[in-house]
Each structure stands twice: as structure tokens, then as C-alpha cells.
């Protein structure tokens, strides 16, 4: 895998992992719809 492909793949994986963690935290702390 070239450095360019690595950069794309690793960035995508990192974004997804961090996003899922944050969405998980939101799910755990969400207290219902607020509108």
C-alpha cells in the first residue's frame, strides 16, 4: 500500500472510530427529544 493509500485508509478509519465513540457517548447521555 502506498503512503497515499495509507493516508486515505487510516484517516477514514480514524474518523469513523472517533465518530462512533462520540455518537456512543451521545446515546448514553441523551435524555429524550428536546423540542
Partner 1 sequence: MVPIIITVLYFVFFSVYFGLKAKKKISTGKDFFTASGQLGWFAVMCSFTLAPLGGGHTSSLWQAQAGLGVSVAWWGVITGGIFIPIFLLWFGPMFRKLKVQTFPQALGKVFGPKIKIVNTSIAPAGWLGITMSETLGIATVIYTLSGGKLQFAPHCVLIAAALIIIYIMFGGMLQMGYMNVLNAIVLIGGSYLAVWYIGTWLPEGYDGVAKTYSLVGEAWRTDLFNFSTPAVFGIIIPCIVLNIFSVSSEHAMYQPMLAAKSNAEIRKGALLGGIINGMAAIPWVILGITGTSIAAIAAKEPLLAVPQLALQALPPVLIGVLMVALLCALLSTASGMVLAIAHVVTDDIIEPLHKEKFSGNKQIWIGRIVVVGVTLAAALPALKVTLIISLFFWCFSLSMPIFVAYFIGMVWKVNRTAAWINLIASLAVNCWWTFALPSWCPEGFTFAFWPVFVTTFVLGIVLNLILPGEKGMLKQIEEQKKSTLKQEVAV
Q: How far is the CB of 9 from partner 1 (least distance, A)?
A: 10
Site string for partner 1, 1-35 (x = CB under 8 A): -xxxxxxx-xxx-xxxxxxx-xx--x------xxx
**Cα-flanking dihedrals φ and ψ of residue 10, to 5°?**
-65, -40
Q: How far is the CB of 26 from partner 1 (least distance, A)?
A: 4
Cβ partners under 8 Å of residue 9, min gap 6: 1
Query: Which residues contact partner 1 by CB under 8 A?
Result: 2-8, 10-12, 14-20, 22-23, 26, 33-35
Amino acid at each position: 500500500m502506498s503512503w497515499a493509500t495509507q493516508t486515505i485508509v487510516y484517516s477514514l478509519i480514524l474518523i469513523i472510530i472517533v465518530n462512533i465513540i462520540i455518537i456512543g457517548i451521545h446515546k448514553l447521555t441523551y435524555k429524550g427529544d428536546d423540542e
